[in-house]
């Protein structure tokens, strides 16, 4: 069912239920259909049945529609690291955090697929995505340091975790019959141990 149909049935109320979700879905639909560059905020708002002003209440610009979840993802990773039992090894703590992120992606696979196809088609968005990953690694390393983990162990564990997330996500997003993402992440951490242990 297209968004236009949904909006028709919902009508245009002054109270805007799930405005963010509607804007997100409309934006992804347009980015995929017409391309990111060719889509305007006005078009996104129109398809979502909302005003441009409402759009800017939720997103700084049309790029941020694709990255608004980054702050929540970072918060999830950092709080998972912070909340892990004291006795756990840094790489185990990072593994738990990355698995938690994987579970979130898995819940929204359809949106993740669309988002990924938009990002893959645009060099500027790919750069933004890499910045996001680097920031996540840096935030997790900081969270480990707050647990008393020293460097280079903190940085190495965090960077290794982001490498696993990146590889697991790419594999999972390209699968037609997707595996369980948290499980895939666990397997990749196990494989990383094998790979780096080779002499």
When asked if residue 166 is in the footprint of a copy of itself (CB under 8 A), the reply is yes
The closest of 122, 118, 163, 117 to 140, measured between CA atoms, is: 163
Which of these ranges, 40-48, 49-57, 109-117, 123-131, lies near a copy of itself under the rule CB under 8 A? 123-131
The residue with tokens 């004291």 is 86
By CB under 8 A, name the one of 103, 113, 121, 156 that touches a copy of itself: 156
Closest distance between a copy of itself and the C-beta of residue 119, in Å? 13
When asked if residue 134 is in the footprint of a copy of itself (CB under 8 A), the reply is yes
Which of these ranges, 47-55, 79-87, 109-117, 155-163, lies near a copy of itself under the rule CB under 8 A? 155-163
When asked if residue 195 is in the footprint of a copy of itself (CB under 8 A), the reply is yes
When asked if residue 96 is in the footprint of a copy of itself (CB under 8 A), the reply is no
Rounded to whole angstroms, how far apart are CA atoms 155 and 68? 25
């Amino acid at each position: 069912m297209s968004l236009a149909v949904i909006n028709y049935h919902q009508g245009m109320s002054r109270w805007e239920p799930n405005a963010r979700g509607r804007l997100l879905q409309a934006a992804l639909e347009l980015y995929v259909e017409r391309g990111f560059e060719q889509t305007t905020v006005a078009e996104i708002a129109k398809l979502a049945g909302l005003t441009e002003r409402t759009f800017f209440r939720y997103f700084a610009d049309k790029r941020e529609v694709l990255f608004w979840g980054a702050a929540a993802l970072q918060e999830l990773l950092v709080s998972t690291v912070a909340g892990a039992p004291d006795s756990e090894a840094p790489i185990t703590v990072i593994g738990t955090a990355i698995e938690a992120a994987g579970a979130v992606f898995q819940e929204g696979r359809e949106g993740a697929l669309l988002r990924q196809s938009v990002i893959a088609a645009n060099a500027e968005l790919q750069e933004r995505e890499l910045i996001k990953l680097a920031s996540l690694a840096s935030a997790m390393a900081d969270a480990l340091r707050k647990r008393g983990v020293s460097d280079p162990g903190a940085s190495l564990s965090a960077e290794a975790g982001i490498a696993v997330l990146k590889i697991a996500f790419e594999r999972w997003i390209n699968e037609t019959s997707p595996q369980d993402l948290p499980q895939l992440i666990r397997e990749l951490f196990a494989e990383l141990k094998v790979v780096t242990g080779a002499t």
